[in-house]
Amino acid sequence: MNTFKNLLSLPESHLCCGCGICAYLYPEDIKMQDVVSRGRRPAFIRKVRSGDVYPEAFTVCPGIHLSHSAETLCQQGLSDSLVKSWGPIFELWEGYAADQEIRFKGSSGGVMSALALYCLEKGNIAGVLHVAADEQKPHLNKTIFSETKESILSATGSRYSPASPCEHLKQIDNANAPCVFMGKPCDVAAVKNLTDIQTGWSKKIALSIACFCAGTPSTEGTLEMLAKMGVEDTATLLSLRYRGCGWPGKTRAEQKKGQNSENKFSELDYHESWGEILQKHRQWRCYICPDHTGEFADISVGDPWYRNVTESDSGRSLILIRTEKGRAVLQRAIADGYLIAEKRNEEVLSASQFNLEKARARLWGQLVALKICRVPYPNYSGFSLYHCWRHNLTFTEKVRSILGTVKRVFVKKLREKCKTSQ
């Protein structure tokens, strides 16, 4: 059931991750749309001709397949103790943006924004392609191409809602110099897959940066969260921040009121917004993802949850160096005063992201269950899935990884075609 004949079957199989790479490659045929209960999904806007399977999109789609080459995993200098559970890592750092405004506004120290700003001001790049809130509809996202510090600052903070940054890769195509690409692990993986089949693309990406990601909630999740915050009509929203302005920061919505009234602000703690609401709305493909920490990026960034975080803490990030290019950029960004960072022991990663390590470990059992139930599943190679399942789970957890997935097959109706339109 993991054999796909063409791209058309992907969204209906619950395996689309919404990155938008297919819409970039075939802009006249495919547009991305927000399916409120699912996420960003491709809409095939032209009648498909017989045999038209969108071969390039099919080849690079991260929802169908992800693969680490043996050459990548055997590079000299990689951490042998981390590679099986976390992918290629040369160095592990912890740090934050030297610019206090960026550090405060960022979700966990503003490292991604600081790296992007360094590349923009010192790295001779044309711009940064990344995701920001839609000013007209703040509960939704849009992709922007930042060429100024102000533009980068306007997009600080995590966005726990669907986004398709790869749909807009044409802006990097049209740029007069290499660019920085920032996104979720699946977005970055799509770009890496693209560079594998179009060699010219490797020269267009000055740096790729991925955030750690436990999964993308649908817009339906954001609407439920807003309802709990007292926002019944998204037309009244002026702004919505999921995190930032502190660490981990609160979810904060601003609503416009009547002419003679002040705007209304509503807040939720991070454990309420993500832990109690948003994470329940993650798309299925995220449940069976092997890469929650940006293994195909040059640099990936996430929260150092090994620390006991209080409301008064300033943000900090774990910084994983995954390529030599990433190492060189980080070193220059520190030397030029854009980042403050120190190396950390490898044990810090597992202590900080225990849940993501367990998610990787469960995956072999989950795929076994999907095969038994004859439900579509992706092809993964180079992730040491059986090793992680065998060594990082208890016996009870191993059993649950299989039986729990069988249950989800029926609860989530994974044997039925997924709704791909509003």
Tokens of 307: 């620390």
In sequence order, the β-bridge partners of residue 254 are 239, 265
| Cis peptide preceding 248, ω within 30 of 0 | yes
Q: What is the pLDDT of residues 89-125, one digit of tens each?
A: 999 999 999 999 999 998 889 999 999 999 999 999 9
Distance between CA atoms of 325 and 5, rounded to whole angstroms?
A: 36
Number of H helices, E strands in the chain: 18, 15
- Are 40 and 164 contacting, i.e. CB atoms less than 8 angstroms apart? yes
What pLDDT score does 48 carry?
Answer: 65
Averaged confidence pLDDT in the chain: 93
Is the model's pLDDT at 422 over the cut of 80? no
Please tell me the least confidently modeled range out of 20-29, 308-317, 409-418: 308-317
How far apart, in whole angstroms, are the C-alpha atoms of residue 115 and residue 117? Answer: 5
| Residue 301: closest CA among 146, 96, 75 | 96
Question: What pLDDT score was predicted for residue 54?
Answer: 86
In 26-97 the beta strands, taken as DSSP E runs, fall at: 30-35, 39-44, 65-67, 91-97
Beta-bridge partner residues of 319: 93, 301
How much is the pLDDT for 50?
55
What does the pLDDT look like over 12-63, one tens digit per residue?
A: 889 999 999 999 999 999 999 999 999 999 998 876 655 667 889 989 999 9
Which residue did the predictor score with more confidence, 86 or 421? 86
Query: What is the per-residue pLDDT for 7?
Result: 80
pLDDT in tens, 137-169: 999 999 999 999 999 999 998 999 999 999 999
Q: Are 356 and 292 in contact (CB under 8 A)?
A: yes
> Dihedral, CA atoms, 190, 16, 87, 128, nearest 10 degrees?
40
Query: Strand 251-255 and strand 65-67: pairing?
Result: unpaired
The total of other beta-carbon atoms located within 10 Å of residue 272's CB is 16
Residue the block writes with tokens 């976390």: 86
Write out the two tokens for 99: 């610019």
Instruction: Determine the average pLDDT of the residues in 303-309.
Output: 90
- DSSP 8-state class, residue 49: P
Comparing 67-81, 132-146, 252-266, 303-317, the range with the smallest average pLDDT is: 252-266
CB contact set of 88 (below 8 Å; sequence gap of 6+): 68, 72, 73, 75, 78, 295, 322, 323
User: What is the model's pTM?
Assistant: 0.94
Summarize pLDDT for 50-92 with one digit per residue, the tens.
566 788 998 999 999 999 999 999 999 999 999 999 999 999 9
More confident residue, 35 or 313: 35
Distance CA 279, CA 263 (A): 29
pLDDT digits 0-9 by tens, 361-391: 999 999 999 999 999 999 999 999 999 999 9
Supply the DSSP string of 131-162, one letter for each residue: EEE-SSSTTSEEEEEE-SHHHHHTT-S---S-
Averaged pLDDT for residues 305-334: 92
The pLDDT score that the predictor gives to residue 137 is 95
pLDDT of residue 407 exceeding 90, the answer is yes
Which residues are paired to 317 by β-bridges?
95
Residue 108 burial (10 A CB sphere; 0-12, 13-18, 19+):
buried
* Lookup result for tokens 């993802």: 289
Higher pLDDT, 415 or 321: 321
Q: Higher pLDDT residue, 245 or 240?
A: 240
Q: In sequence order, what E strands does 150-213 have? A: 179-183, 205-211
What values do phi and psi take at 237, rounded to 5?
A: -70, 135
Q: How far is CA 115 from CA 86, 109, 163, 322, 324, in A?
A: 22, 11, 21, 15, 15
pLDDT at 212 over 70: yes
Q: What percent of the chain has pLDDT over 90?
A: 82
Region of 335 on the Ramachandran plot (φ > 0 left; ψ -120 to 50 alpha; else beta): alpha
Which residues make Cβ contacts (< 8 Å) with residue 156, sequence separation at least 6?
A: 102, 105, 106, 107, 110, 113, 244
C-alpha angle 85/184/172, rounded to 5°? 130
Q: Which residues of 66-91 are buried (b: 16+ CB within 10 A; e: fewer)?
A: bebeeebeeeeebbeebbbbbbbbbb
What pLDDT sits at residue 420?
65
Residue 416: pLDDT band by 50, 70, 90 thresholds?
A: confident
- pLDDT higher than threshold 70 for residue 4: no
